[in-house]
Structure 1
Amino acid sequence: MIHDFCIIGGGIVGLATARELLALRPQASLLLLEKEDTVGKHQTGHNSGVIHAGIYYAPGSLKARLCI
């Protein structure tokens, strides 16, 4: 089977990416691969589970630009 997108990892970032891709292209076929038996179980379940906005870094700095 062929998919338009394949996301590896069902943590907070993988799920957010999948959501955005499908919001932009609702007809797209997306495959999400996760090694655990449920999404958000591994690393996302062991940290605060947030996407870092970079508000603590100087505007325009490399760290701020690399934050989601």
Structure 2
Amino acid sequence: MKIIAETANCVGAGMCANVAPSVFDIDAGTGLVRVLTEAGDVPADQVGAVSDAIAVCPAQALQWAQDDGA
């Protein structure tokens, strides 16, 4: 599964980084979410934590990438 972080919507609350610190961080320069995994790929053992991060994001800046069938 892949995660998309819309930095244009991010408010830098950091809740995602608290819930799933191996997947998300807050960039020191911009103060916005940064995805730490290669190409947004979420390891299977982090899917639950990322789903929780999506749920608690106050700006709704996180979402699962849609499978385009390719």
TM-score of the pair, normalised by structure 2: 0.27
Higher strand share: 2
TM-score w.r.t. the length of structure 1 is 0.28
- Higher relative CO (Cα under 8 Å, sequence separation at least 6) belongs to 2
Q: Which has the larger radius of gyration?
A: 1
